Structure 1
Amino acid sequence: MIVVTGMPGAGKEEFVKVSREMGFDVVRMGDVVRMEAIEKKVTSDDQSIGNFAHSERLKYGYDIWAKRTVPFVKSKKTVIDGCRGESELSIFKSAFGEDLVVIAIHASARTRYDRLRRRNRSDAPANFEQFQERDQRELGWGLGNLIALADYMIVNEGTLEEFKENVRTLLKEIDGNEVQDH
């Protein structure tokens, strides 16, 4: 069981693609948030979804999105994408055991901003100020602590192919260890 984390634009999306190619199931916490937001008729821009996620955290506790994500995990060979803090991680450890592995993806702010602008999603920042606001919001949820305490870190400042190769190498190592351990 793997939890992947990182700041917006660090490379979690590409990590998830490689994971799927290698036979891992993927559960994305952001998808759980977006599904709930749609059900509650929240506008689909980043600001509205971020505010919705935050208000749900204030109402039900900072671990609410982890609690709502757990039922979607069906296999031990799963990557959970989008964990934002230690309280969420503790929910996953309670549900799936202490041998859960946390992988942080890291890239500089400028690299991440450029990537987010290029990917052209509805939640892409309109400008650098909006990008920084999103970073601050996510850091406020404890994302920085989670990144700092990760079991593994992949720095994603090179080419896409270099990053994918680093992901494959790490996933093979982790998958091999889990096969031996269990």
Structure 2
Amino acid sequence: MESTGKAPIGRPRGFDADEALEQAMMVFWEQGYEGASLTDLTGAMGITRKSMYAAFGNKEELFRKVLERYTEGPASYGDRALEKPSALEVATAFLAGSVDTTTRPDCPAGCLGVQGALASGDSGQPAQDALIAWRDDARARLRHRFQRAVDEADLPPGADPELLARYIMTVANGIAVQAAGGATRSELQRVADAALRNWPPV
């Protein structure tokens, strides 16, 4: 290889960072934060620990990057649901998205946002904190959307946006736990349908 005469600024990454992050997401999704060892992660990512630290930081920083990727990818149904024209359609799309994402045949069962922190001890506290903030943000966004629905008379005046947001989040999280335990897509969709029968009439 002919030299350019310039000193190297740094060795180029010999791997696809997006693909490596995708593989790390799958490991965390399947094994949780504490269950995923650095050996598991680097093995799935196809890189050395040194390369992982250089590209993504430590395990905690890698998990935060994975959570961002999960939010923009498999969990992007949440953003799409918020754009629906009515509160009922928002709730319906949110729960349908939860059912779909937690039962995809090409992904681990359940939800990274729920599985990630199960059986988490002290060493998993940073991940636990990140996931609590992640779920709180999702609930807050649902609450704001449902408040808008009250203001627009799409929900009755006495409807409680915070309670409705917490209700939908609780059902969605329960769907994720049931999916991880082997419940099928059709079984979980029936759960979502049953939950929506309690939606306040306009």
Same fold (TM > 0.5)? no
| Structure whose residues are more often strand by fraction | 1
| Structure whose residues are more often helix by fraction | 2
- TM-score of the pair, normalised by structure 1: 0.30
- TM-score of the pair, normalised by structure 2: 0.28
User: Relative contact order (C-alpha < 8 Å, sep 6+): which is higher?
Assistant: 1
